[in-house]
Amino acid sequence: MTRPMTALLAVSALAACAHAPRSGEDLFESIRTYHEGVRWERFPAAASRVPGPERSDFVEERDRLAEDLRISDYELVRVASYDERRAQVQVKYTWYLDSEGVVRHTHAMEGWERHGKVWLLVEEHRLRGDEMPGLSEDEPDEAADGPDTDDTEQAPEPRAEAQVAAPPSDEGPARGADGAAPGP
């Protein structure tokens, strides 16, 4: 009877360890918290991932931008470098302005640093694609590399309808779509 009791205590101890608090949030949780907050206009949640002194300005700026800017999606493209304290992250935004209605794409490079138990976004700039409100421009070294690619999705041009001749009838010679009789 002591053997089953020992096994039960061992399983209980392992289960308790599985739910013990972690030493801090991992990088990907911080990235998700920030971007989901920005995308869904939960700016205080997003601001929790920027340095303390910048938080109130961040929320004010995002509230102002949200009058016209809509971020419809973001994609974590890659983590360029990553160690215990710093990371470079590339993100692709899909967005539009209500005033224009044109879907645009912008790639951004972000600098993240670990501060205590949480990762904070300390720098973000446009890497390529469309200029995006609220996102600083390319760093000078990158801007000299060449022109940007146009990542704008325009609606397709409407097609002209083909002119189709009317089928022949018993009422005389065949006529074109404009009603005119064919030439001699």
CATH number assigned to the domain comprising residue 83:
3.10.450.50
For the segment 85-119, what is each residue's pLDDT rounded down to a tens digit?
Answer: 999 999 999 999 999 999 999 999 999 999 999 99
The rounded mean pLDDT for the chain is 76
For the segment 25-80, what is each residue's pLDDT rounded down to a tens digit?
Answer: 899 999 999 999 999 999 999 999 999 999 999 999 999 999 999 999 999 999 98
Counting the structural domains of the chain, the total is 1
Higher-pLDDT residue of 83, 172:
83
In a domain, 163, yes or no: no
In a domain, 114, yes or no: yes
In a domain, 53, yes or no: yes
**Tokens 């205080």, residue located:** 44
Strand ranges of the sheet holding 86-97, from the earlier edge strand across to the other edge: 69-82, 86-97, 104-115, 118-129
In which domain, by residue range, is 99 found? Answer: 22-141
pLDDT at 8 over 80: no
In a domain, 161, yes or no: no
In a domain, 30, yes or no: yes
In a domain, 162, yes or no: no
